[in-house]
Chains A and B, each alone.
Chain A
């Protein structure tokens, strides 16, 4: 936070064009379409209820950020959006989530996850070469008919993740030889390779230094054109920099959801204000 560049501070104080248009969208005046919508979502880990009646709309080609103290259910909510929580034993979800108006439980789970990609908090490349990391999703989804197509798609994904120039000469080397920031961008490239419509990012910068973080934030701006982005962050400056919309979570509840400027400048709820002004524990 201390490392934030002057540019970022500007964005905090003066709404950028995207931010104001997002604000408009939340007021129902923009043509923005709803990509994902959750209604009355409850989630249980065994007998512990981690999410309480979450309802939220996520707009297409916008960046939506979730903020809130750790343990408040941000990751849990994110992981219900691609049904990844189903892989955790002894969990239960009720309520509906619609992707383009269709219930995600009516979509075949591997197809849903192809359409809703995810990047994790800790970069987690596979113990394979850089090339194979990106190619894996293409292979399992049968998305590259031949070797040439595969190479092309891998290159394109690496370019979209702004990693191509750094790795183009060592595609066959292990992904573990890359720096932390590069590994995280590789994970983004891996997720982008299967052409997701939505990209879920769970605190993607929490283990990165400020320079690597800035690179990922730049990337998010570029990806907005082709993807809907949902990002969990506990860095509020980051939410203010990248997000059009922000949701504030507390103890498994969505306290407030609005345009980012509203959340940071003029929140409706006292809890939100306490949190964004740093008065909250």
Chain B
């Protein structure tokens, strides 16, 4: 091929080009200031939130100290407050939601991204994204009118298989930690599906093809290469789902039973932090009662942050161990 020498385009910035660059530069400074302000305001807001929660919970913090976190009594009449039943209910219902929601959500995402014909996948995803926008009180109604009756039907089957464990003993009245976990799982699955599907689809085609070209089956290429490539995005969707389920209020309070007791059985009613704050805040009489509820808010905030940090740390160490 004859190497034709092309004349150098624009051998130096002309005057108009220079002023354009200057404009860009000052624009950059403005953009920098605006984004910095936005970022700072988020920090400020978070700081303010924590500060307010901290100040307004001073009475119970002074009265109970750290034991607030480990006490099971919740007795507004005697002004004795402990957060443990709520922490327990929040953690257990969210864990249950993840236990059900992760395999369901990730499985569906793999199906929609890898196996379903594109048109069907897009249509289903549209519906799933609509589900993510449904207000949580509607999920509460769904829980009361559909899931709880359904759980009543499948309850004997669960009991016959898992009844020997302490987790599924005692009477089942419908409202329970178990029901809350199931309703939460229904609520978080759309998040997991729609985000995971996107990240799986964003995996470069040549990753999959590299595996196929080595003799991998389609499933091997998906499982060994595509999913690991999309792993951090999928985990991101799970964190988001977890954050949502830890803080979910309305749907949970409608099905969890609102009973501040710690029972080994998932069939027993329970209570969550968000639910008790919403239910009791307006009728809280007395400073200590209010303070206890606000301190619960502080606990929920801390819980969310600690769990997220732990999950991220777990992912970070998992990544360092050999994988990219």
Docked Cα-Cα span, A2 to B4, in Å, equals: 11
Given contacts A122-B206, A176-B324, contact A82 B213 (CB under 8 A): yes
Docked Cα-Cα span, A112 to B250, in Å, equals: 57
Q: Does B322 contact A (CB under 8 A)?
A: yes
- B7 contacts across to A, CB distance below 8 A: none
Which of A18-26, A56-64, A127-135, A159-167 binds B?
A: A127-135
B202-217 near A? 1/0 per residue, CB < 8 Å: 0010111111111111
Q: Does A268 contact B (CB under 8 A)?
A: no
The tally of residues in B whose CB lies under 8 Å from a CB in A reads 27
Task: Please provide the chain A residues from 24 to 40 with a CB less than 8 Å away from any CB of chain B in the complex.
Answer: none
- B216 contacts across to A, CB distance below 8 A: 110, 140
- Name the residue on A nearest B231 (C-beta): A127
Given contacts A1-B1, A175-B324, contact A137 B208 (CB under 8 A): no
Q: Does B2 contact A (CB under 8 A)?
A: yes
Given contacts A2-B3, A127-B228, A127-B229, contact A84 B213 (CB under 8 A): yes
- A172 contacts across to B, CB distance below 8 A: 322
Asked if residues B215 and A194 are in contact (CB atoms below 8 Å), the reply is: yes
Give the size range of A's interface with the partner.
35 or more
- A137 contacts across to B, CB distance below 8 A: 214-215
Asked if residues B214 and A126 are in contact (CB atoms below 8 Å), the reply is: no
Q: What's the minimum C-beta distance from A137 to chain B, rounded to whole angstroms?
A: 4
Docked Cα-Cα span, A113 to B209, in Å, equals: 11
- A126 contacts across to B, CB distance below 8 A: 207, 210-211, 225, 228-229
Asked if residues A120 and B210 are in contact (CB atoms below 8 Å), the reply is: yes
B1-33 near A? 1/0 per residue, CB < 8 Å: 111100000000000000000000000000000
Q: Does B287 contact A (CB under 8 A)?
A: no
- Name the residue on B nearest A235 (C-beta): B1
One of B212, B224, B229 near A84 (C-beta < 8 A): B212
Q: What's the minimum C-beta distance from B213 to chain A, rounded to whole angstroms?
A: 4
Count how many pairs of residues, one from A and one from B, have CB atoms less than 8 Å apart in the complex.
87
Docked Cα-Cα span, A278 to B1, in Å, equals: 4
Given contacts A132-B322, A140-B220, A277-B2, contact A124 B207 (CB under 8 A): yes
Q: What's the minimum C-beta distance from A232 to chain B, rounded to whole angstroms?
A: 14
- A194 contacts across to B, CB distance below 8 A: 214-215
Asked if residues B2 and A278 are in contact (CB atoms below 8 Å), the reply is: yes
Asked if residues A87 and B208 are in contact (CB atoms below 8 Å), the reply is: yes
- Name the residue on A nearest B220 (C-beta): A140
Q: Does A231 contact B (CB under 8 A)?
A: no
Q: Does B282 contact A (CB under 8 A)?
A: no
Q: Does B323 contact A (CB under 8 A)?
A: yes
Q: What's the minimum C-beta distance from A37 to chain B, rounded to whole angstroms?
A: 21
Asked if residues B210 and A128 are in contact (CB atoms below 8 Å), the reply is: no
Asked if residues B323 and A191 are in contact (CB atoms below 8 Å), the reply is: no
Docked Cα-Cα span, A191 to B211, in Å, equals: 10
Docked Cα-Cα span, A277 to B2, in Å, equals: 7
- B323 contacts across to A, CB distance below 8 A: 127-129, 174
Q: What's the minimum C-beta distance from A25 to chain B, rounded to whole angstroms?
A: 26
- B1 contacts across to A, CB distance below 8 A: 1, 236-237, 276-278
Q: What's the minimum C-beta distance from B199 to chain A, rounded to whole angstroms?
A: 13
Docked Cα-Cα span, A174 to B319, in Å, equals: 10
Asked if residues B3 and A136 are in contact (CB atoms below 8 Å), the reply is: no
Q: What's the minimum C-beta distance from A8 to chain B, rounded to whole angstroms?
A: 13
Asked if residues A129 and B322 are in contact (CB atoms below 8 Å), the reply is: yes
- A110 contacts across to B, CB distance below 8 A: 215-217
Asked if residues B215 and A111 are in contact (CB atoms below 8 Å), the reply is: yes
Asked if residues B213 and A118 are in contact (CB atoms below 8 Å), the reply is: yes
- A117 contacts across to B, CB distance below 8 A: 213-214
Asked if residues B206 and A124 are in contact (CB atoms below 8 Å), the reply is: yes
Given contacts A132-B322, A172-B322, contact A124 B210 (CB under 8 A): yes
Asked if residues A128 and B206 are in contact (CB atoms below 8 Å), the reply is: no
- A206 contacts across to B, CB distance below 8 A: none
Asked if residues A141 and B215 are in contact (CB atoms below 8 Å), the reply is: yes
Q: Does A154 contact B (CB under 8 A)?
A: no
- B220 contacts across to A, CB distance below 8 A: 140
- B210 contacts across to A, CB distance below 8 A: 120, 124, 126, 187, 190
Asked if residues A113 and B225 are in contact (CB atoms below 8 Å), the reply is: no
Docked Cα-Cα span, A276 to B220, in Å, equals: 42
- B3 contacts across to A, CB distance below 8 A: 1-2
Task: Please provide the chain B residues from 183 to 241 with a CB less than 8 Å away from any CB of chain A in the complex.
Answer: 204, 206-218, 220, 224-225, 228-229
Q: Does A114 contact B (CB under 8 A)?
A: yes
- B229 contacts across to A, CB distance below 8 A: 126-127
Additional A-B contacts beyond A140-B214, A176-B324, A190-B214 (15; CB < 8 A): A2-B3, A82-B213, A87-B209, A111-B215, A113-B213, A113-B215, A118-B213, A120-B210, A124-B210, A128-B322, A129-B323, A136-B224, A137-B214, A194-B214, A278-B4
9 A-B pairs with C-beta separation under 8 A: A84-B209, A87-B218, A114-B215, A127-B228, A128-B228, A129-B322, A129-B323, A136-B214, A190-B210
A residues whose Cβ falls under 8 Å from a Cβ of B: 1-2, 82, 84, 87, 89, 110-111, 113-114, 117-118, 120, 122, 124, 126-129, 132, 136-137, 140-141, 172, 174-176, 187, 190-191, 194, 236-237, 276-278
The list of the 6 closest CB pairs from A to B, nearest first, reads A127-B324, A278-B1, A114-B215, A137-B214, A174-B324, A118-B213
